[in-house]
Amino acid sequence: MKYQKIHVDSRTRWPRPPAWLPLVLALAPLAGFAQQAYVSRFDMFTGYTFLDSPLVSLKENGFHFQTGVRANTWLSLGFDYSISAGDLTLTPNLLVPGLQQELGAELAQLAAAGQIPAGYTLVVPAHSRTQTFAAGPQFNYRHFSKVTLFIRPSAGAIHEYATPQPKDPIAAAIAAQLAPSGHKTDTVAFYGFGGGADFNVSRHVGLRVQADFVHDHLFSDLIASGRNTVRVSIGPCFNFGSNIAR
């Protein structure tokens, strides 16, 4: 049987950072020029997070938590966790070549038998739940009294649970082949970088705005190329413990 090969465009693009993030970072120095006299030993953050993976049209909303200990005024060590949920879209051009060939042959047979409507395009939507786990250093810049700028490497594990939600019988049949159990789950490593700013409302409370840009390759048995993901978060941060700036 002659297989029909579906073209794969494996190029991936980094998601664009939110338009307001450069403005926030640019205006941060205007918040105060005196160096910070109080730096607590510990900090904690809880807030809203938005995760975007353009390769699979994934957009998720969720919750972000961080906690850390400051080794000194410029170095923190911490733990990072987020959980979010949303929808993605799987199309044939995203699949590994072997699956594309098998799928192309199936669709060709259905088309020859007149069982596919004219102009039919295969799309398999799915609902996704994503968790991220990370730990490591963060580098802080405290030259301004009201704003703390920071950057960090982003490395850890990402876990995703995806449930296909096909909208037509053909997509349902394909989804059953790709995920016989009715769902797909995977855990892989990710790597990248992140940064942001803490706007210090008081010694113990602030507003944190941050973003991380990372790369991973979830579901490598199905999807041909790795994907780039941006996670943006905003929420309150809390500082507590002894003053290490003295």
Q: What pLDDT is stored for residue 30 in this prediction?
A: 46
Burial class (CB in 10 A: 0-12, 13-18, 19+), 229: buried
In a domain, 163, yes or no: no
The pTM of this model reads 0.84
Domain of 138 in residue numbering reads as 29-157+170-235
pLDDT, position 19:
55
185 belongs to a structural domain = yes
> Is 64 inside any structural domain?
yes
Average pLDDT across each block of 10 residues of the chain; the chain has 246 residues. List them in order: 37 53 51 75 98 97 98 97 97 94 89 85 95 98 95 97 95 93 97 97 96 98 96 98 92
Q: Which residue has the tokens 């410029």?
A: 74
Domains contained in the chain, number: 1
User: Residue 84 falls within a domain, yes or no?
Assistant: yes
Does residue 38 sit within a domain? yes
Question: CATH no. for residue 220?
Answer: 2.40.160.20
Considering the domain boundaries, does residue 184 fall inside one?
A: yes
The reported pLDDT for the residue numbered 182 is 95
* List of E strands, the chain: 40-53, 58-70, 75-90, 124-141, 147-164, 184-200, 205-216, 227-243
Both tokens of 221, joined, read 């048995």
The answer to whether position 2 is within a domain reads: no
